[in-house]
A = this chain, B = another copy of it.
Amino acid sequence: MSVHPDVTPLEFLLGSWKGSGHGEYPTIESFDYFEEVSFVAPPGKPFVVYTQKTRHADDDRPLHTETGYLRPVGDGTVEMTLAQPTGVVEIHVGTVSAGRLELTTHQVGLTPTAKEVTSVRRELAVDGDTLTYDLAMAAVGRPITHHLHAVLHRI
């Protein structure tokens, strides 16, 4: 079985990516990180499995990780479900066009002990074998503010 036809609009993302990024937010010290990301399309299924992890650039300690699914639902619309070990789940809705995916929070769910996250905006662009993304976030009482920028390369 090959890639499900629904997944075609996301084919530019499929594979494994590796690179580095910079994080900032008004409530924390800025930091640099290494990142590995994969987008896998299980044969015949109408979705893409997303996994991500980052490590601190200074001492290589594990930082963030998250996992979830992208599902195109027609007319260039993509839905995303996402789970994080920090007690956060996210539902995103967005648009995909040639080499570009933009996602905005539809709903956030939090465990009782999670830090408050109210909204996240993700923009990913692929040009050849380079993936660039930016993430802005409204969290811990702050309005939507730029948080992450990274450049990854296909491996």
Please list the residues of chain A having a beta carbon within 8 angstroms of any beta carbon in chain B. 42, 44-47, 49, 62, 65, 67-69, 71, 73, 79-85, 87-91, 93, 106-114
Contacts and interface: CB of A to CB of B under 8 A. Distances in A.
- The interface residues of chain A, by DSSP majority, are classed as strand
A113 to B, nearest CB: 5
A77 B49 CA distance: 29
Q: How many copies does the complex hold?
A: 2
A69 B85 contact: yes
Contact of A112 (B47, B79, B90, B113): B79
Contacts of A81: 83-85, 87-89, 109, 111
Nearest to A74: B113
A69 B82 CA distance: 11
Contact of A73 (B45, B84, B110, B113): B113
B109 A83 contact: no
Contacts of A73: 111-113
Q: Select the residue from A80, A84, A91 with max chain B CB neighbours within 10 A.
A: A91
